[in-house]
Amino acid sequence: MPLMFITGGVRSGKSHFAEKAAIRHYQNESLMAKRLLYIASGVAMDGEMEKRILRHQADRQAQDTVWHTIEAPYQIEEAFDRLCDGDVVLWDCVTTWLTNAFYEGFDSGRMCVEKPGCLEKKLQSLQEAVLTLLEKKVTLFVVSNELFDEPPYTSEEVELYRQMLGKLHQWFVSVANEAYEINYGIVKKWK
């Protein structure tokens, strides 16, 4: 299964690039491609995020191709289990999923980030799910945000987030067939 990893800054054009690439792949593989799926990890916790989610949904609806959406803000491995041979999948995005993983349990008063080993277990489950998916005939486009051009933060939690995201990015690139970085709408293929 091919895996394409796409990263870039906020509003850099990475989601648009990933959507177009997934549609192209789906259309080129029309005899083998079964479904075009969008795995969405966003949760509308505030007005800005709600607007971003609505914009992404409108962008997909405006396209000629029909997307099937799976909402997976927390248990990404369960979404991956639902995939079949021949599916073309766009997961948007790793950074949102990681944020959700950090703060899962907020409503009950004990977030994952506060529980020893919780985040590590979630990352391990994610990696195992991706590796299992690599054995299927599924094409996976993975989108993430680039957060590493800024100086280190004084908040331990934010730095932990950046470190975990950096490790995830390195891991995704190591297992990806192709890796892209988008800045200002300009595409750079790294792998």
Examine the pLDDT at 153 and tell me if it is beyond 80.
no
Residues β-bridged to residue 125: none
Domain with residue 178: its CATH number is 3.40.50.300
pTM assigned to the model: 0.84
Of 176, 151, 173, nearest in space to 162 by CA: 151
Is 109 or 94 the better-scoring residue by pLDDT?
A: 94
> What does the pLDDT average to over 128-141?
91
For the chain, the average pLDDT equals 85
- Contact in structure between 9 and 183 (CB atoms under 8 Å): yes
DSSP string over 88-113: EEEEE-HHHHHHHHHHTTGGGT--GG
> What does the pLDDT average to over 34-62?
66
The structural domain count of the chain equals 1
**Structural domain range at position 13:** 3-189
Range with lowest mean pLDDT among 72-86, 150-164, 171-185:
150-164
